C-alpha cells in the first residue's frame, strides 16, 4: 500500500504546492480525472473528499490517515 500523502507544513509555500500537486496526481490516477487542477475549487474539494472516503474505507490501495 502507498502512503496517501506526507505531512505538510502550512507555512512552507513549496511544501503546500507539492502537497496539492500530489493530491492532483492521486485524483488523476485513482479517480480518472484527467486535469484536476482545472476543476473549480468546490468541485476539487468534493472530489478530494470522495478520494479520502474511498481510501479510508479501504477501496483504494493507499493508506490514508483518518482526519488528515
The full length of the chain comes to 68
Question: Judging by beta carbons within 10 Å of its beta carbon (0-12, 13-18, 19+), is residue 31 exposed, middle or buried?
Answer: middle
The structural domains of the chain, with segments of one domain joined by +, span: 2-63
Provide the 3-class DSSP secondary structure of residue 1: coil
Cα(68)–Cα(66) distance, integer angstroms? 6
Task: Give 14-20 contacts, CB < 8 A, sequence gap 24+.
Answer: none
**Is this prediction's pTM over 0.95?**
no
Higher pLDDT, 5 or 48: 48
pLDDT tens by residue, 20-50: 898 999 999 999 999 999 999 999 999 999 9
Phi then psi dihedrals of residue 64, to 5 deg: -140, 120
**Does residue 2 carry a pLDDT above 50?**
no
Amino acid at each position: 500500500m502507498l502512503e496517501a500523502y506526507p505531512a505538510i507544513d502550512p507555512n512552507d509555500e513549496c511544501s503546500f504546492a507539492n502537497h496539492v500537486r500530489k493530491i492532483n496526481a492521486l485524483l488523476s490516477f485513482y479517480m480518472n480525472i484527467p486535469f484536476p487542477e482545472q476543476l473549480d475549487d468546490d468541485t476539487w474539494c468534493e472530489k478530494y473528499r470522495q478520494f479520502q472516503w474511498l481510501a479510508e474505507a479501504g477501496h483504494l490501495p493507499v493508506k490514508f490517515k483518518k482526519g488528515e
